[in-house]
Structure formats: structure tokens, C-alpha cells
């Protein structure tokens, strides 16, 4: 991820600004150049999602997206997780 952000900053697609709430973090902001590409990139992402979910019914897609969102939340160190019971 760090390498991708470095390349995007080099290509003037993002700016990194210090987080005023936490000096250890940086906020990643889109630049005007990247905002000009936004509609095109969203369209491309939708096309890829259509191909990736081909053959899945809406319930399967919803279950997948729910599971993916949970996995992403689990990786977020700022997200409060309920205490897991030991078995």
C-alpha cells in the first residue's frame, strides 16, 4: 500500500497532509488531477465488479460484500471488536 501511495503521489494523484488529530498519521487527499479521472475510474471499477460477480445471484453478492466488509473492519486497528469467547 505504501508503495502504491508513493507512486500516486509521484504522479500527482494524491496529496498527503498531516492528520491534525494524530500527528503520527497522514490524511490522503485526491488532487484535482485525480478528480478529473474519478468518473472514468468508477466506471472501470463497475465493469470489473460486473465481471467478477457474473453468475452470482443478488443474495450471494450481498453475502460476499457483507463478509468482505467484516474482514476489512477486522483489520482496522481503530475499530472496536467485541471480545471473543475462548472455546
Does an H or E element contain 70, and which?
helix 58-75
In a domain, 81, yes or no: no
Domain harbouring 71, CATH code: 1.10.10.10
As beta bridge partners, residue 45 has none
In a domain, 25, yes or no: yes
User: Cβ distance 52 to 65 under 8 Å?
Assistant: no
> Average pLDDT, whole number, for the chain?
91
C-alpha–C-alpha distance, residues 64 and 79, integer Å = 20
As beta bridge partners, residue 85 has none
How many domains does the chain contain in total? 1
Tell me, what's the pLDDT at 37? Answer: 95
pLDDT tens-place string over residues 38-77: 999 999 999 999 999 999 999 999 999 999 999 999 998 8
Q: What's the residue count for the chain? A: 87
In a domain, 80, yes or no: no
In a domain, 82, yes or no: no
What are the distances in angstroms from CA 44 to CA 5, 47, 52?
Answer: 20, 5, 12
Tell me, what's the pLDDT at 60? Answer: 97
In a domain, 84, yes or no: no
In a domain, 87, yes or no: no
Determine the average pLDDT of the residues in 5-24. Answer: 93
Query: Whole domain around residue 7: which residue ranges?
Result: 2-75
Amino acid at each position: 500500500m505504501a508503495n502504491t501511495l508513493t507512486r500516486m503521489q509521484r504522479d500527482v494523484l494524491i496529496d498527503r497532509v498531516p492528520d491534525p488529530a494524530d500527528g503520527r498519521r497522514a490524511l490522503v487527499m485526491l488532487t484535482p488531477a485525480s478528480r478529473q479521472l474519478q468518473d472514468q475510474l468508477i466506471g472501470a471499477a463497475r465493469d470489473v465488479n460486473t465481471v467478477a460477480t457474473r453468475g452470482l445471484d443478488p443474495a450471494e453478492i450481498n453475502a460476499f460484500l457483507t463478509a468482505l466488509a467484516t474482514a476489512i473492519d477486522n483489520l482496522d486497528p481503530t475499530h472496536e471488536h467485541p471480545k471473543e469467547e475462548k472455546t
